[in-house]
């Protein structure tokens, strides 16, 4: 009866307009980070296209809009830096289970940390929006990714990258997105993260990965090899993009390793408990005899 009452209260709270708005906003803003990976991959494709075109034709095919020029030259620098910081924080969290909380309960540091979260979120929103708008102007989202012959990652590497990207997205959500939404919707109350928010975010990230990220994000790791094979100049952005991809793979490997260790330890504890119980039952039977 008590379980039924708690379940009913949970569904009633989830059905409220505030909770629905919170869940929708929480999921949408959390996806800014994986979208930034996709955007960086798309910008790398455009830069590869420009560099290859200049190599053979010595000039660009046309004058592109200013928003595209801004996306090509300004967006990567800022997004690479911000994504790198979030990825390093995610690696630290994966190794030590410690996370930087930007909504500390102390009133002395709460407002400055909250302002940092607001600034980071606004910067991501502006530059991701400008980058996506610029790539749409050239119709890049209407076509498949460029084919880099001879360079391809395995499905296992893609899957481990997904695990690392999921962990990085969760850290991004807890560091930046959650404090901002709590301050806006619940007036600064530090609200506990519910299971439904984790499930919805994981499902949306999985759909985005299967639909676009699974193939397109590989550009970050294969672009350097493709340029070397065609004797093209490899820029610093190409190396940073590859490091971001491998950093996410490392985070995924850490999470998979910790998951395997947890499974092994759980099985060991279970078998020890079973052996202890059997020994107790055996000793009780001997006492009865």
User: Domain extents for the chain?
Assistant: 17-288
CB 240 within 8 A of CB 33: no
Q: Output the six-digit token pair for 63.
A: 């004058």
Contacts of 55 (CB under 8 A, 6+ apart): 230, 232
Task: Say what the pLDDT of residue 43 is.
Answer: 82
Which of the residues in the chain have pLDDT under 70? Answer: 1-15, 53-74, 98-110, 134-135, 137-153, 187-191, 279-289
Task: Say what the pLDDT of residue 155 is.
Answer: 80
**pLDDT single digits (tens) 174-215:** 889 988 888 887 766 666 777 888 889 999 999 999 888 888
Cα–Cα separations (whole angstroms), residue 5 to 8, 10, 29, 164, 229? 5, 9, 32, 37, 64
Is residue 269 helix, strand or coil? Answer: helix
Residue 215 CB burial class (10 angstroms; 0-12, 13-18, ≥19): middle
Task: Kindly report the backbone phi and psi dihedral angles of residue 97, in degrees, each rounded to the nearest multiple of 5, phi listed first.
Answer: 60, 25
What is the widest separation between alpha-carbon atoms in the chain?
97
Contacts of 110 (CB under 8 A, 6+ apart): 103, 104, 188
Task: Say what the pLDDT of residue 54 is.
Answer: 62
Task: Say what the pLDDT of residue 114 is.
Answer: 82
Per the listing, tokens 């998979």 go with: 256
Per the listing, tokens 């408990």 go with: 273
């Amino acid at each position: 009866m008590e379980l039924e009452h708690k379940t009913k209260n949970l569904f009633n709270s989830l059905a409220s307009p505030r909770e629905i708005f919170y869940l929708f906003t929480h999921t949408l803003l959390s996806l800014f980070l994986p979208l930034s990976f996709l955007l960086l991959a798309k910008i790398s494709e455009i830069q590869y296209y420009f560099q290859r075109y200049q190599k053979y034709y010595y000039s660009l095919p046309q004058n592109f809009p200013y928003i595209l020029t801004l996306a090509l030259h300004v967006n990567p620098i800022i997004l690479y830096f911000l994504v790198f910081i979030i990825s390093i924080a995610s690696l630290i969290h994966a190794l030590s289970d410690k996370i930087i909380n930007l909504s500390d309960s102390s009133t002395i540091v709460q407002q400055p940390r909250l302002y940092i979260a607001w600034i980071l979120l606004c910067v991501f929103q502006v530059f991701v929006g400008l980058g996506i708008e610029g790539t749409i102007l050239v119709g890049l989202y209407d076509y498949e990714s460029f084919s880099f012959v001879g360079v391809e990652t395995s499905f296992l590497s893609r899957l481990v990258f997904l695990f690392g990207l999921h962990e990085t997205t969760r850290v991004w959500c807890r560091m930046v997105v959650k404090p901002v939404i709590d301050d806006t919707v619940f007036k600064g109350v530090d609200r506990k993260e519910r299971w439904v928010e984790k499930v919805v975010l994981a499902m949306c990230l999985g759909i985005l990965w299967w639909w676009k990220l699974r193939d397109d994000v590989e550009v970050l790791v294969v672009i350097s090899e493709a340029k070397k094979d065609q004797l093209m100049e490899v820029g610093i952005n190409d190396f940073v993009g590859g490091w971001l991809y491998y950093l996410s793979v490392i985070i995924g490997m850490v999470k998979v390793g910790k998951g395997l260790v947890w499974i092994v330890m759980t099985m060991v504890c279970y078998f020890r408990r079973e052996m202890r119980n059997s020994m107790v039952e055996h000793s009780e039977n001997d006492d009865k005899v």
